Amino acid sequence: MNPDLARLQAYPFERIRTLLQGVSPADLPAVSLAMGEPKHPTPAFIHAAITANMGGLANYPLTKGIAALREAIATWLTRRFQLPEGAVDAEQHVIPVNGTREALFAFAQAVVDRTADAAVVMPNPFYQIYEGAAFLAGAEPVFLNCTVENGFIPDFAAVPAATWQRCQLLYLCSPGNPTGAVMPLATLQQVLKLAEEHDFIVASDECYSELYADEANPPPGLLQAAAAMGNTAWKRCVVFHSLSKRSNAPGMRSGFVAGDAAILQQFLLFRTYHGCAMPPPFQAASVAAWADEAHVLENRVLYRQKFAAVMDILAPVLDVTLPPAGFYLWPKTPVDDTVFTRELFARAHVNVVPGSYLSREADGMNPGANRIRLALVAPLNECIEAAERIRRVVETL
């Protein structure tokens, strides 16, 4: 067996199952704010596009995807991030992927040179795929703590030059999971300058970019930062986007990778062997999804309603801040986060994720300790019910 498999840590939900073993839940209907799985209805036009293109099941899909999908993605990127017209070439700068989770993992396998003393740098807390990708690529994950003191954005200037010299790949996540923090354009440009100076690749996970609070201020993206610096060849830049959160279609496993043509050429070679082409009906539906913004606007309205309602209930009893983007709350807990998770399950039959399970010990601390992640993905009435139960538990502690 691959010895690097032994380096993988248990996934948070596996650890939660262990944590809750032997705990009897309250005699109430279960409400889960744990998994970040969108629950808003998938738009009807996506269903219709899949149905209308079922004939495509008779064909093997190309790993590179159909030209119409790559064109739709290039057009969306250009419009959304105000990129120079024609700077995103659908032929060389875009690869549709059958799930950005899988692509984020596979990317490290393709770009990391395991014969060197490789480091893969990532935020902490983080999406655990980044860590697993580093381990299976034979690299060392290096964690940059995201705390309230730094606005939940890594302090890149504090990273030693020796670490950057070992860095082959930097994962970013903006808006952040679980914090919802958004990296300003200036910070993204700082990262690109470091990448140029130390010769590493930046992989920006932007899967929450279309869920934000202020319509006038959408989160900036890595390609947007690169273009503002004159880097329209997207050197060392690769971004990952998904329809899972944007379009409430997690089961379609539809997303894309875009950026540096030379890097994507090698990643496409890897994926050709990896065998992860998107089924033709889903490609056709993805063309329709990337071309439509009305359903995305409606999606943001639904999340704002839930944030407003839940914050009204929880803010008086918990240290919790409304994030600028994403669909998570990241409150501090009145007791240890694992204890609080058990108490919420036992007293209120509410499922949440302990913050310490989403982080690692780094520089003498676990930045997720004494926090929980609340995913506001359930219907509004369930989010309100869960928040009211959480409040009652807090008031009794």
Record the pTM: 0.96
> Is residue 274 very low, low, confident or very high in pLDDT (cuts 50, 70, 90)?
confident
> Is residue 268 very low, low, confident or very high in pLDDT (cuts 50, 70, 90)?
very high
State pLDDT tens for residues 332-343.
Answer: 999 999 999 999
Give the pLDDT score at 275. Answer: 73
Percent of the chain with pLDDT over 70: 100
State pLDDT tens for residues 90-124.
Answer: 999 999 999 899 999 999 999 999 988 999 999 99
Give the pLDDT score at 397. Answer: 87
Which of these, 309, 299, 289, lies nearest to 215 by C-alpha position?
A: 299
State pLDDT tens for residues 208-246.
Answer: 999 999 999 999 999 999 999 999 999 999 999 999 999
Sign of the alpha-carbon dihedral angle for 302, 355, 342, 21: positive
Query: Counting Cβ atoms within 10 Å, is residue 223 exposed (0-12), middle (13-18) or buried (19+)?
Result: buried
* Sheet strand arrangement including 353-354: 328-329, 372-375, 353-354
- Fold designation for 3-41+295-396: Aspartate Aminotransferase, domain 1 (3.90.1150)
Q: What is the mean pLDDT of the chain?
A: 96
Give the pLDDT score at 142. Answer: 97
Report how far residue 39's alpha carbon sits from residue 21's, in angstroms, rounded to the nearest whole number. 27
Residues of the chain with CATH 3.90.1150.10: 3-41+295-396
pLDDT exceeds 90 at position 148: yes
Report how far residue 333's alpha carbon sits from residue 388's, in angstroms, rounded to the nearest whole number. 15
State pLDDT tens for residues 279-319.
Answer: 999 999 999 999 999 999 999 999 999 999 999 999 999 99
Say yes or no: domain 55-292 is CATH 3.40.640.10: yes
Mean pLDDT, residues 6-18 taken together: 92
Residues of the chain with CATH 3.40.640.10: 55-292
